[in-house]
Amino acid sequence: MKQRLVQLIAQTELQVTEQQVQQLVGYVELLHKWNKAYNLTSVRDPNEMLVKHIMDSIVVSAHLQGENFIDVGTGPGLPGIPLAIMCPEKNFTLLDSLGKRIRFIKQVVHELKIANVTPVQSRVEEFQPEQGFDGVISRAFASMNDMVSWCHHLPAENGHFLALKGQFSEQEVAELPEWCSVTEVKSLQIPELEGERHLVILTAKE
């Protein structure tokens, strides 16, 4: 599995250390193990997880500006855990309302010795951070409108929303609230992943 991950990373411009590769593979192994009992992801095959979960997450690491990030609706820690492994100098809060997912994340952080992750069990609308985040990341929300509406209290003054989407939808942009606008759309190239992937960066208007 490690060899396969190294081959996938080689098809990108990402720089990944030996330790990061070990941690990413370790995460997939734990996810595969826990998934049998806790049903954390619909992807069952660890080799598929490498593409659909690991590569799909870590390609975003090149686009993170700032220090503090929150992954909203992180599920079993996606994309938050892979991003935290890729960016050890940044801090990641992983938010989910389900206890079993947060328990799993705590186990991952403990076993893989990931020092820059804070797991939080809460509904997003009830979570009140002490300070805003440079980036509010999500790949789980149905629509960008839902994401910015539920998470509008989370970005810092100059913070951004980072929505991981499949196809980019002009319809979704049209439905955004007036106070929010799309500042950038980046097409993501993920080795061996079928279908389109986009990173949509949104900012609150001044």
- Collapsed DSSP state (helix, strand, coil) of residue 138: strand
Asked whether residue 73 is marked as a ligand-binding residue, the answer is: yes
Domain with residues 1-204, CATH architecture? 3-Layer(aba) Sandwich (3.40)
Exposed, middle or buried: residue 41 (CB in 10 Å: 0-12, 13-18, 19+)?
Answer: middle
* pLDDT tens series, the chain, 206 aa: 999 999 999 999 999 999 999 999 999 999 999 999 999 999 999 999 999 999 999 999 999 999 999 999 999 999 999 999 999 999 999 999 999 999 999 999 999 999 999 999 999 999 999 999 999 999 978 899 999 999 999 999 999 999 999 999 999 999 999 999 999 999 999 999 999 999 999 999 86
In DSSP terms, 184 is beta-bridged to: 201
Report how far Cα 177 is from the mean position of its chain's Cα atoms: 23
**Domain map (residue ranges) of the chain:** 1-204
- The verdict on whether residue 162 carries a ligand-binding annotation is no
**H-state helical runs in 39-77:** 46-49, 56-58
What stretches of the chain adopt beta strand conformation (E)?
68-72, 91-96, 117-121, 133-138, 155-165, 180-187, 198-204
Determine the Cα–Cα distance for residues 27 and 7; give it in Å rounded to an integer. Answer: 18
31 is in an annotated binding site: no
CA atoms within 13 A on the CB side of 80: 34
Query: Any binding-site annotation on 139?
Result: yes
Q: How far is CA 54 from CA 8, 140, 148, 191, in A?
A: 10, 15, 25, 11
